[in-house]
Amino acid sequence: MTPYVEMSQEELLKEKVALEKEYQEVKKKGLKLDMSRGKPAAAQLDISMEMMDVLNSKTNLKGEEGVDCRNYGILDGIKEAKQLLADMMEVEPGNVIIYGNSSLNVMYDTVSRAMTHGVLGSTPWAKLDKVKFLCPVPGYDRHFAITEYFGIEMINVPMTPEGPDMDVVEKLVKEDESIKGIWCVPKYSNPQGITFSDECVRRFAKLEPAAKDFRIYWDNAYCIHHLYDENQDHLIEILGECERAGKPDMVYKFCSTSKICFPGSGVAAIVASKANLDEIRKQLTIQTIGHDKVNQLRHVRYFKDLAGMEEHMKKQAAILRPKFEAVLEILEQELGGKGIGSWIAPKGGYFISFEALDGCAKKIVELCKDAGVIMTNAGATYPYGIDPHDSNIRIAPSFPTPEELTVTAKLFVLCVKLVSVNKILESK
């Protein structure tokens, strides 16, 4: 297949005419499809419906420790829920606090607490002249939204196939005391699907930050979200690495069951050192009497243990895997060898990250929208919504039906071709 950049102007103009004709034909179909967010499809939600039958009006709602889960009490989560999520996160239950339904809420609270009350006795961030965060890019838009909301300056750090560029991270945190944190999605990252290498994780644990209140915000959202039973990525556990490096307080680790069972009705948790958790509990005693213990009990009675969760996730993978493979196959068939885009085939997570030619992402997303398919906004994977190359587009294959996904993917590659041809013609 001849790369577009090697085509003559005459060949490119001919290709442009054909692509524009095809695009106009697609527009006439009046599509109304949404591939903008990583929402589970109805079929994924259906496999969790038996969770609704675990508890009823005749169920004994006392936990393992005899606590009535219908009533007040147990600030940081029932014992069996701590055990379940501790096993999922590869830590001890004593390092876990169970929250409500959303890990995003936990991350927001963690930043907010640092702003108003500081971290382990440090000056509250709101009283400092400048507070900065490192942001591996492309990354998760909702992470960036939290730090932007609090007026925290965000600094881009390039992602590599091994994880964030640790040379950059190490240099910046060592030199600048105003850098207080770094956002990370360390396994099947959003949006690239990259899992941090062992060396990358160990370098994180050995960071020498100038700020004593620097924290690694380790959002392990996709820790058991594999697409394949055998071909899986492995991530070494960060809290243990930090402890071995003599820096047990340097990491906050977040998780939830939102994309395991019911988004919005899951169970979230934070994992951290004893000192960090003791500080968090002080806030929780003011903030809440306790989170939803009935929901915690429901999760434990349904999944029973980590093996139960892993078996459940195989059912999720059976639904997601064909969707990912369908998109990747269309990308390869239509764009492979054309030199107008690149992508990573992830082994898990929820997204496929596409890199278009510089200056093309916004126009591609715009053309998709005009033809009836909503994609994630170009630039969303960068702080402030500004992709300096205007090249990254996040593809979310989970929500559309397989039939819709094929239509959507074919429209997407059509828009990539059309925008790329115009871009190359402008440069000739």
Which phi and psi (to 5°) does residue 68 adopt? -75, 110
Residue 198 has pLDDT above 90, yes or no: yes
Do residues 206 and 214 touch, judged by C-beta distance below 8 A? no
- Is CATH 3.30.428.10 correct for 63-304? no
Q: How far apart are the first and last CA of the chain?
A: 20
Decide: helix, strand or coil at residue 10. Answer: helix
Angle at 225 between CA 42 and CA 34, to 5 degrees: 40
Over residues 119-168, the pLDDT tens digits come to: 999 999 999 999 999 999 999 999 999 999 999 999 999 999 999 999 99
Q: Quote the CA–CA distance of 235 and 254 in Å, as a whole number.
A: 15
| Polymer length in residues for the chain | 428
Helix (DSSP H) and strand (DSSP E) numbers for the chain: 13, 13
Over residues 285-305, the pLDDT tens digits come to: 999 999 999 999 999 999 999
Domain positions in the chain: 4-44+310-427, 63-304
Q: How confident is the model at residue 37 (pLDDT cuts 50, 70, 90)?
A: confident
Do residues 138 and 157 touch, judged by C-beta distance below 8 A? no
Task: Find out whether the peptide bond into 40 is cis, omega within 30 degrees of 0.
Answer: no
Tokens of 344: 């990573």
The CB density around residue 174, as the number of other CB atoms within 10 Å, is: 13
The pLDDT assigned to 428 comes to: 74
CA 248: distance to chain centroid? 24
Do residues 319 and 44 touch, judged by C-beta distance below 8 A? yes
Q: Quote the CA–CA distance of 375 and 369 in Å, as a whole number.
A: 7
The pLDDT assigned to 2 comes to: 83
Lowest-confidence segment of 1-10, 23-32, 270-279 by average pLDDT:
1-10
Closest by CA position to 117, among listed 273, 284, 247 = 284
% of the chain residues with pLDDT over 90? 96
Residue 93 has pLDDT above 80, yes or no: yes
What residues contact 199, with CB distance under 8 A and at least 6 apart? Answer: 162
Angle at 203 between CA 109 and CA 88, to 5 degrees: 50
Q: Quote the CA–CA distance of 116 and 410 in Å, as a whole number.
A: 49
Do residues 168 and 157 touch, judged by C-beta distance below 8 A? yes
Please give the C-alpha separations between residue 167 and each of 35, 159, 160, 186, in angstroms, as whole numbers: 35, 11, 11, 17
Tokens of 22: 């095809």
3-state DSSP percent of the chain in helix, strand and coil, to 5 = 45, 15, 40
Residue 264 has pLDDT above 80, yes or no: yes
Q: Quote the CA–CA distance of 425 and 40 in Å, as a whole number.
A: 40
Task: Find out whether the peptide bond into 164 is cis, omega within 30 degrees of 0.
Answer: no
The pLDDT assigned to 35 comes to: 87
Residue 329 has pLDDT above 80, yes or no: yes
Closest by CA position to 245, among listed 203, 184, 198 = 203
Lowest-confidence segment of 34-43, 95-104, 177-186, 384-393 by average pLDDT:
34-43
CATH of 4-44+310-427, one of 1.10.260.40, 3.40.50.300, 3.90.1150.10, 3.40.50.150: 3.90.1150.10
